[in-house]
């Protein structure tokens, strides 16, 4: 079974006004060294990132996601803030770049694109063996990544306004010139030439700025899927992580069986991602098989069916299937954010509700433990 780990970017907010606070440096200073879940800084001082350990079971991953959020929140509270799983800030904000030479270079080079970038993503790492396998996986999962985005959509608001999108983070993130879907590669050499070609342009500051929807990690022997919004509900995060592992397994199986990847143009994938960001799971998505719009629920279930054997092999089929059905039934974090706005009338109410949702205030341990395995099974 492949190991899986996640990185969750979290906003630091004032729990009275909902306004993002530039207190990452103070928050991180309060943390004692710990070998388990790491909490690190990010490009803006209004953000931190919680990094899980690699695990083989979703139950253990769920524990790390909960621990990472709790550790980030404890650090935030030491600096007078709260850590919240929002992919964009509902309340208008002016971000403050982290104080490092690399980030200063990025801000100088990219101007307002860097200065306005305050978005929180969800990165899923799934282990691979040779890089050849990793590139083959990238070629075969690319057509399904818009569906992963739709299932995690959690950013309907930007600078105090309703954007009309379920995931506006995906739109804002797309302003970076090296973000988004990639071409088919076919080989490790082709992948490496692709990266070097982009670096040779002098645009990206370094290889860390190759913000592909999915890429080979330079730090770990993993495929890193980066297309998702950070999820408001941690059960959703673990559900999607398990689904992505099943997708990676399925792609590797197809490669070994000699099945060719679908030759969908990158431009078509950009449109598919736009549609996923626009309506999430509440409208239509592009069906990878036909290239045409289809009810989102049907496309999501087609993905579940495609990866079903891999999920069963990993022991994840019941849990992931249950988690996906919950998302389809009640909507993603974007739906909850809009409901909170409608109930309270203020963007501040959205943030305060999100703080509660991020940390599950009021739920008992037995209700939350293990991704609600009793209900799933």
Among 60, 37, 51, which residue's Cα sits nearest to residue 122?
51
Q: How many residues does the chain have?
A: 377
The pLDDT score that the predictor gives to residue 372 is 58
Can you give the pLDDT at residue 369? 39
pLDDT at 251: 98
Residue 11: in which H helix or E strand, if any? Answer: strand 4-13
Cβ atoms 237, 327 nearer than 8 A: no
C-alpha distances in angstroms, 45 versus 13, 49, 332?
Answer: 11, 11, 27
Q: Which helix (H) or strand (E) holds 318?
A: helix 317-330
Q: How many CB atoms lie within 10 A of CB 298?
A: 11
pLDDT at residue 36, rounded to an integer: 77
What is the secondary structure of 132-182 as a DSSP string? HHHHHHHHHHGGGHHHHHHHH--B-EETTEE-S-SBSHHHHHTTSTT-B--
Q: What is the pLDDT of residue 35?
A: 64
The closest alpha carbon to 334, from 149, 186, 124, belongs to: 149
Largest Cα–Cα distance of the chain, in whole Å?
A: 56
Cβ atoms of residues 317 and 305 within 8 Å: no
Share of the chain above pLDDT 70, in %: 95
pLDDT at 361: 52
DSSP class of residue 45 equals T
Residues 32-67 pLDDT 10s? 877 678 999 999 999 999 999 999 999 999 999 999
Residues of the chain with pLDDT under 70: 35, 361-377
258-296 confidence digits (pLDDT tens):
999 999 999 999 999 999 999 999 999 999 999 999 999
Give the domains, in start order, of the chain with CATH numbers: 4-366 (3.30.590.20)
């Amino acid at each position: 079974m492949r190991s899986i780990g996640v990185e969750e970017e979290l906003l630091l907010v004032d729990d009275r006004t909902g306004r993002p606070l530039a207190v990452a440096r103070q928050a991180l200073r309060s943390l004692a060294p710990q070998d388990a879940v790491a909490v690190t800084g990010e490009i803006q001082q209004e953000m931190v990132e919680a990094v899980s350990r690699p695990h083989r079971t979703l139950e253990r991953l769920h524990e790390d996601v909960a621990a990472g959020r709790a550790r980030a929140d404890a650090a935030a509270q030491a600096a007078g803030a709260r850590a919240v799983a929002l992919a964009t800030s509902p309340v208008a904000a002016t971000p403050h770049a982290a104080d490092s030479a690399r980030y200063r270079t990025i801000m100088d080079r990219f101007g307002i694109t860097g200065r306005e970038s305050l978005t929180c993503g969800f990165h899923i790492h799934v282990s691979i063996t040779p890089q050849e396998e990793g590139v083959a996986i990238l070629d075969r999962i690319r057509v399904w990544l818009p569906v992963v985005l739709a299932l995690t959509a959690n950013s309907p608001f930007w600078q105090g306004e309703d954007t009309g999108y379920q995931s506006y983070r995906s739109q804002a993130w797309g302003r970076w010139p090296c973000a988004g879907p990639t071409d088919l590669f076919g080989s490790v050499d082709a992948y490496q030439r692709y990266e070097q070609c982009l670096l040779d342009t002098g645009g990206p500051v370094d290889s860390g700025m190759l913000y592909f929807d999915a890429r080979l990690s330079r730090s770990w022997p993993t495929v890193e899927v980066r297309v998702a919004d950070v999820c408001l509900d941690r059960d959703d995060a673990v559900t999607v992580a398990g689904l992505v592992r099943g997708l990676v397994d399925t792609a590797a199986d197809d490669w070994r069986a000699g099945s060719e990847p679908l030759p969908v143009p990158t431009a078509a994938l950009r449109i598919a991602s736009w549609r996923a960001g626009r309506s999430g799971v509440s409208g239509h998505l592009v069906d990878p098989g036909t290239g045409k719009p289809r009810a989102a629920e049907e496309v999501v279930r087609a993905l579940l069916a495609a990866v079903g054997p891999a999920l069963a092999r990993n022991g994840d089929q019941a849990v992931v299937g249950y988690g996906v059905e919950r998302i389809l039934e009640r909507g993603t974090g974007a739906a909850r954010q809009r409901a909170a706005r409608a109930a309270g009338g203020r963007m501040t109410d959205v943030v305060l509700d999100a703080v509660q949702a991020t940390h599950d205030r009021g739920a008992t341990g037995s209700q939350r433990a293990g991704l609600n395995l009793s209900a799933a099974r």
